[in-house]
Amino acid sequence: MTPADRRAVITGVGAVAPGGHGREAYWDLLTAGRTATRRISLFDPAGFRSRVAAECDFDPLASGLTPQEVRRMDRAGQFAVVAAREAVADSGIELPGADPERVAVSIGSAVGCTTGLEEEYAVLSDGGRDWLVDHSYGVPHLYGYMVPSTLAVEVARQAGAEGPVALISTGCTSGLDAIGHAVQLIEEGTADVVLAGATDAPLSPITAACFDAIKATTANNDDPEHASRPFDGRRDGFVLGEGSAVMVIEELESARRRGATVYAEILGFAGRSNAFHMTGLRPDGREMAEAIRVALDRARLDPGDIDYINAHGSGTKQNDRHETAAFKRSLGQRAHEVPVSSIKSMIGHSLGAIGSLEIAACALALRHQVVPPTANLSTPDPECDLDYVPVTAREHRMDRVLSVGSGFGGFQTAMVLGRPSERRGEAA
Amino acid sequence: MAEFTLDDLRRILRAGAGVDEQTDLDGEHFADTAFADLGYDSLALLELVNRVEREYGIGIPDGDLAHTQSPREVLAYVHAKLREARV
Amino acid sequence: MSASGIRPGRRGRSVVTGIGVVAPTGIGAARHWESVLAGKSGIGRITRFDPTGYPVRVAGEVPGFRAGEQVPGRLVPQTDRFTHFALAAAEDALTDAAADPATLPEYEMAVVTASSSGGTEFGQHEMENLYQQGSSWVGAYQSIAWFYAATTGQVSIRHGMRGPCGVICGEQAGGLDALGQSRRLLDTGSRLVLSGGTDASLCPYGVVAQLSTGHLSAEDDPARAYLPFDAAASGFVPGEGGAILVVENAESARARGVPSYGELLGYAAGFDPTTDGTAARHTVLVSVIRRTLADAGLTPDAVDMVFADASGVPAEDLAEARAIAEVFGPGGVPVTAPKTLTGRLYAGGAALDVATALLALSAGVIPHTAGLGRPAPGCEIDLVLDRPRQTDPRTALVLARGHGGFTSALLVGAGDRDALKR
């Protein structure tokens, strides 16, 4: 089979998200338009500029992890493993199956095991007193927190995978890029099954402080439930979130052979970098538009074929305008015709993880034919003039959807998903 | 109460955001050169604001210096803040 | 074209046209190669902090690296040392390749680096500010200097590379995975990729975290601390630095009229899911080597030398030796580990090994593994000791394993560049 014949499909979805346990609670939250943002409880946010976040009510033991797994993994690892188990159960696949070498893992994360790393730092440095941190207080798995690759290792062990295992870390596009990497592995023939997704648990003082320092996060502390306001004129920065989505991505024919139910096919993806600024975006959206154009080209689709756009929609003025410009630049008139929404309005911005949660939302949207809304959008920014599906979910006929991401470092990624019946044209 | 001079501004910029080889912070036109022309972007200005706030014990509300163009404007703003703090 | 942009037909050829090195063996490919041939070690007592109170006191530090001279001044306080190294190495690699990014299509150039622990020292400083002084003492650059994508982002900005940039974390195997990814990008529309990896985690928290693996050598004598495949092996020595390579498709290199050090002939990656890090399982490595050869369309007899992962942890050395012997036969291929001169460079290690292998192919020499005494019992491999072998090797297999089970291999073949233009 040639790469173009090896098609990558999603057959299982697992999610650990703010506002509910598992995939179904996640979808309920999104379609109800409920927000999971609140005053930070995972640490004392007093003294911080931004004191709001979307937190997961996550009990690792109740989620099926063993005490040793809980000790060994930091929060981001726990999220990923729980999401992976749900995805595998959902897909009905037996892993590692007959050939573990054909099972791969591709997990994205922007900040890795920061939470564990910081907690241990606080102890080893005795509250920041000692530059020469005291190794005698080191926990056995300390190095596992130092390297983000641990997150992919943990998922790989769950699956018994012996194929390629990667941790992709491209800031806030990590999730999309990790899923894109999985598609590459399937198309090139390296793997038949990939557990792919992303995880981040950045709700710790050091991450909150670094976003405070650049005033990227919201200072709207008095009204946490309405603090994440993508495309709204009253937005003032993003709201940090946390979570993980992991998906079972399979080669279509082998998925069919075992009778799997397919959520969606990944029809095309592409990444571009703006080479402009580590955090800044050019208002014209040029590189994101190019990523969208190439993703459509690879999917052999035209702008008119796109039925819904799952936006990056972080809720910073800079992003929302950049992105709106990119949609118009790449899709032309179609940008004004399709619904566009940002689920960050409900579950915040979980950095590298969010791309995986957004792809999970796209897969669910295709299955249920419902567009999740942009919550809190009551006074639109006049410069953001598309149909952002304010407040209420919408039933909508969708065959193909576009999801985009934008990350620190200049990364811009676009991915196109289609309903399982949507075969690409045969012409190359 | 500490004074805030152009030299303090240079020192803080050097420590916080560095200096490119082609930039001359000690040149005679420093005070009136746009930050962008000195090689400093929005992050550099945020770092400058954070450091001035900490070192001089003043609060600089969000956005106050976001559109500041030149070192002289920062100097005037911080002087005013320091006067406020004295009374 | 496929969803990921793979075009129909055969995979194109990927060649390496430029090498940038920042390593304990020296800054610049020429100085590094001289050290390798001379067996000159860059390992010594740690000077970047006072190691007196720690059980590990030696490491491979980059000598004479002055960020102020090798990195744009503005970026010195804005980025971590691992990014400084990469900026310097990338600049060097582009110069070496005679490539001017301003003259190449912006969307057809990309950066893919490996990262192991990100801006470790920068992060420790900022956490110190946070815990000593409070949250408002954390600087604006923490948001862009600490994370794993810092290097790729800065290098892409510096050289105007707007293609599909990426970051792969596979601990010490990541350097090979980044190069494997560069080949995928060249197959999907890119023409030039800066790829490789650097690391600079020789700060107290970085080294203390590494201690928890139990794999670092507590030996104080720099000449005795890192002796892979040796009867006296006692773990490994950490190091800093790495390499960035210019990887190009062969047509692009030909169009520019530049020679290449060599070609990326084959690559494969696998994972050892056993939870015991010293389980000495060699089967995954055997399979990865065989898949790499299959990817290159070659048989074991086509491999002229192997650059071993050379962990220095006896059980892991034994597993690697068994794997090599199983694929190539006992003593069936010369095996070397010049990394005994640098220590293990984490994200930079495998990238530097590939650079060394390419330099060796260009020079027609198998560099030796300096400093070893008596081979460990059971390691049935032809380890190149004492002095380089002038055998005109045409191919080199580079092996790398990373913490947790990462296992990767890359096969490189000789190019048409026979000497360093320096």
Q: Are A70 and A60 in contact (CB under 8 A)?
A: yes
Q: Which of C73, C137, C139 sits opposite B20 (nearest CB)?
A: C73
Quote the CA–CA distance of C177 and C181 in Å, as a whole number.
6
Tell me the nearest-neighbour CA distance from C76 into chain B, angstroms: 6
C45 CA: distance to closest CA in chain A (Å): 16
> How many pairs of residues across A and B have Cβ atoms under 8 Å apart?
14
Q: Are C229 and C306 in contact (CB under 8 A)?
A: no
Could you tell me if residue A427 is inside a domain?
no
Cα A363 to Cα A27, A194, A253, C304, distances in angstroms: 10, 16, 19, 49
What is the biggest distance separating any 2 CA atoms in chain A, rounded to whole angstroms?
65
C47 and C66 in contact (C-beta within 8 Å)? no
Check the CA dihedral C101-A271-A240-A318 and report its sign.
positive
Both A252 and A273 in a single domain?
no
| Nearest by Cα to C76 from C166, C154, C128, C152 | C154
Whether the Cβ atoms of residue C333 and residue C305 lie closer than 8 Å to each other: yes
- Look at residues A245, A192, A191, A241 and name the one whose alpha carbon lies nearest to residue A81: A245
How much is the pLDDT for A428?
31
Pairing of strands A165-168, C166-169: antiparallel
List of residues 6+ apart from C127 with CB closer than 8 A: A118, A121, A122, A125, A128, A206, C205
What's the pLDDT at C421?
Answer: 44
Residue of chain A whose Cα is closest to the Cα of C271: A162
Q: Are residue A169 and residue A150 in the same domain, yes or no?
A: yes
Question: Which of A199, A223, A257 lies at the terminal end of a domain, its last residue?
Answer: A257
User: Which of B35, B46, B51, B60 to substitute to test the interface with A, most A CBs within 10 Å?
Assistant: B46
b/e code C47-76 from CB counts within 10 Å (16+ = b): ebbebeebebbbbbbbeebebeebbbbbbb
Say if residues C85 and C202 touch (Cβ distance below 8 Å): no
For the beta carbon of residue B41, count every other beta carbon within 10 angstroms: 16
Instruction: Name C113's bridge partners.
Output: C167, C196
Residue C418's pLDDT band (cuts 50, 70, 90):
confident
Distance of CA C336 to the CA centre of its chain: 15
The two three-digit tokens of residue A210, written as one number: 């670094």
Count of domains for chain A: 2
Please judge whether A211 and C54 are an interchain contact, meaning their C-beta atoms are less than 8 angstroms apart: no
Chain B residues close to A279, C-beta within 8 Å: 42-43
**Which H or E run includes B83?**
helix B71-86
Closest residue on chain A to C147 (Cα): A111
- Smallest Cα–Cα separation from A178: which of A205, A147, A159, A151? A151
The class (CATH top level) of B6-17+30-86 is mainly alpha
The arithmetic mean of pLDDT across residues C207-225, rounded, is 97
Residue ranges making up the domain that contains A36: 3-257
Q: How far apart are CA C357 and CA C411, in angstroms?
A: 10
User: For helices C81-96 and C150-159, what crossing angle results, to 10°?
Assistant: 40
Q: Which of A93, A103, A104, A138 is nearest to A120 (CA)?
A: A138
Single out the residue in A257, A283, A313 at which a domain terminates.
A257
- Say if B42 is an interface residue toward chain A (CB within 8 Å): yes
- What is the predicted pLDDT for the residue at B68? 84
Predicted confidence (pLDDT) per residue in A320-375, tens digit? 999 999 999 999 999 999 999 999 999 999 999 999 999 999 999 999 999 999 99
* Strands, E assignment, chain B: none
Identify whether A172 is a catalytic site residue.
yes
CB A320 within 8 A of CB A406: no
Using pLDDT thresholds of 50, 70 and 90, give the confidence band for residue C422: very low
Checking ipTM against 0.90, whether it exceeds it is yes
Residue A425 resides in a domain? no
CA distance A54 to chain C (A): 20
Q: Helices (DSSP H) in C49-141: which residue ranges?
A: 67-70, 75-78, 81-96, 120-133
Over residues C78-116, the pLDDT tens digits come to 999 999 999 999 999 999 999 999 999 999 999 999 999
CA distance C152 to chain B (A): 19
Q: Which of C3, C116, C120 sits opposite A187 (nearest CB)?
A: C3
Rounded to 5°, angle at Cα B20 from B15 and B21:
125
Tell me how far CA of residue C274 lies from CA of A69, A102, A147, in angstroms: 15, 17, 18
Paired sense of beta strands A240-241 and A52-54, if any: parallel
| Two tokens, residue A7 | 């098609």
Asked if residue A262 is part of any domain, the answer here is no
The chains found to touch A (3+ Cβ pairs under 8 angstroms) are B, C
Q: φ, ψ for residue C63 (rounded to 5)?
A: -80, 135
Three-state secondary-structure class, residue C195: strand
Residue of C nearest to A427 (CA): C1
Classify residue A303: in a domain, yes or no: yes
Q: Measured between CA atoms, how close is C133 to chain B, in angstroms? A: 10
- Regions of chain B with pLDDT less than 70: 1
In a domain, A423, yes or no: no
- Beta bridge partners, C196, equal C113, C244
User: For C4, what's the count of Cα atoms within 13 Å in the CB-facing half-sphere?
Assistant: 26
- In this model, does residue C279 exceed pLDDT 90? no
pLDDT surpassing 90 at residue C30: yes
More confident residue, C17 or C273: C17
Q: How far is it, in rounded angstroms, from Cα C377 to Cα A281?
A: 59
pLDDT tens digits along C327-364 = 999 999 999 999 999 999 999 999 999 999 999 999 99
Contact of A264 with A366, CB cutoff 8 Å = yes
CATH of residue A135's domain is 3.40.47.10
Instruction: Find chains touching chain B: ≥3 CB pairs under 8 Å.
Output: A, C
**Nearest CB to A280; choose among B42, B47, B62:** B42
Shared-domain flag, residues A95 and A122: yes
Asked if C76's CB is within 8 angstroms of B43's CB, the reply is: no
Q: What is the Cα–Cα distance from A389 to A234, expressed in whole angstroms?
A: 17
User: Within 13 A of A403's CA, how many CA atoms are on the CB side?
Assistant: 28
Query: Helix/strand/coil (H, E, C) string of chain A?
Result: CCHHHCCEEEEEEEEEECCEEHHHHHHHHHHHCCCCEEECCCCCCCCCCCCEEECCCCCCCCCCCCHHHHHHCCHHHHHHHHHHHHHHHHHCCCCCCCCHHHEEEEEECCCCCHHHHHHHHHHHCCCCCCCCCCHHHCCCCHHHHHCCHHHHHHHHHHHCCCCCEEEECCHHHHHHHHHHHHHHHHHCCCCCEEEEEEEECCCCHHHHHHHHHCCCECCCCCCHHHCCCCCECCCCCECEECEEEEEEEEEHHHHHHCCCCCCEEEEEEEEEECCCCCCCCCCCCHHHHHHHHHHHHHCCCCHHHCCEEECCCCCCHHHHHHHHHHHHHHHCCHHHHCEEECCHHHHCECHHHHHHHHHHHHHHHHHHCEECCECCCCCECCCCCCECCECCCEECCCCEEEEEEEECCCEEEEEEEECCCCCCCCCC
Q: Within this chain, do residues A314 and A404 fall inside the same structural domain, yes or no? A: yes
Dihedral, A31, A37, A41, A42 alpha carbons, nearest 10: 70
Residues A182 and A287 both lie in one domain: no
Q: Which of A21, A181, A322, A349 is flagged as catalytic?
A: A349
Cβ atoms of residues A173 and A114 within 8 Å: no
**pLDDT tens, A168-193?**
999 999 999 999 999 999 999 999 99
CA dihedral C224, C229, C232, C236 (to 10 degrees): 50
Percentage of residues of chain C with pLDDT beyond 70: 98
Residue A277 falls in the annotated catalytic set: no
Note whether C73 contacts B54, CB cutoff 8 Å: no
Q: Which of A213, A219, A277 sits opposite B62 (nearest CB)?
A: A219
Q: Examine the residue annotation and report whether A135 is marked as an active-site residue of this protein.
A: no
Across the B/C interface, how many CB contacts are shorter than 8 Å? Answer: 40
For strands C166-169 and C109-114, give the pairing: parallel
Residues A171 and A295 in one domain: no
Q: Using a CB–CB cutoff of 8 Å, tell me whether B43 touches chain C.
A: yes
Closest C-chain CA to B13: C74
In angstroms, rounded to a whole number, what is the distance separating the alpha carbons of residues A147 and A169? 11
List phi, psi (to 5°) of C242.
155, -160
Which residues of chain A, if any, have pLDDT below 70? Answer: 1, 4, 422-428
pLDDT at position C273 is 85
Question: What is the spatial distance between Cα A152 and Cα C169, in angstroms, rounded to a whole number?
Answer: 9
Q: Which of A257, A291, A310 is the last residue of a domain?
A: A257
Residue A424 covered by a domain: no
Nearest residue in chain B measured CA to CA from C67: B18
- CB–CB of B20 and C136 under 8 A? no
Catalytic residue among A21, A56, A113, A172: A172
In chain A, residues 326-385 whose CB comes closer than 8 Å to chain C: none
Chain-chain contact of A3 with C212 (C-beta, under 8 angstroms): no
3-state secondary structure of C216: strand
Set out the domains of chain C in order of their start, with CATH numbers: 14-256 (3.40.47.10), 265-414 (3.40.47.10)
Calculate how close chain A gets to B39, using CA atoms only, in Å. Answer: 12
Decide if A161 is inside a domain. yes
Q: How far apart are CA B1 and CA A230, in angstroms?
A: 43
Distances A233 to A180, A228, A316, A322, C142 between C-alpha atoms, Å: 33, 12, 10, 15, 29
| A202 touches C: beta carbon within 8 Å | no
- CB-CB: which of B18, B43, B54 is closest to C73? B18
Instruction: Return d(Cα C371, Cα C338) in angstroms, integer.
Output: 10
Residue C222 pLDDT: 97
The residue from A21, A56, A181, A312 that is catalytic is A312
For chain C, the average pLDDT equals 96
Question: What are the chain C neighbours of A428 within 8 Å (beta carbons)?
Answer: 1, 8
> Whose CA is closest to C398, among C311, C330, C312, C337?
C337
**Least confident range of B66-70, C306-310, C407-411:** B66-70
**CA A71 – CA A337 distance, rounded (Å):** 50
Which of chain C's residues have a Cβ under 8 Å away from the Cβ of A141?
Answer: 212
Residues of B in contact with C136 (CB under 8 A): 50, 53-54
- Return all residues near C11 (Cβ < 8 A) that are at least 6 apart: C183, C187
Give residues with Cβ within 8 angstroms of C336, minimum separation 6: C305, C306, C307, C308, C366, C367, C368, C369, C383, C384
Residue of B60, B62, B64, B65 best to disrupt the A interface, most CBs of A under 10 A: B62
pTM exceeding 0.95:
yes
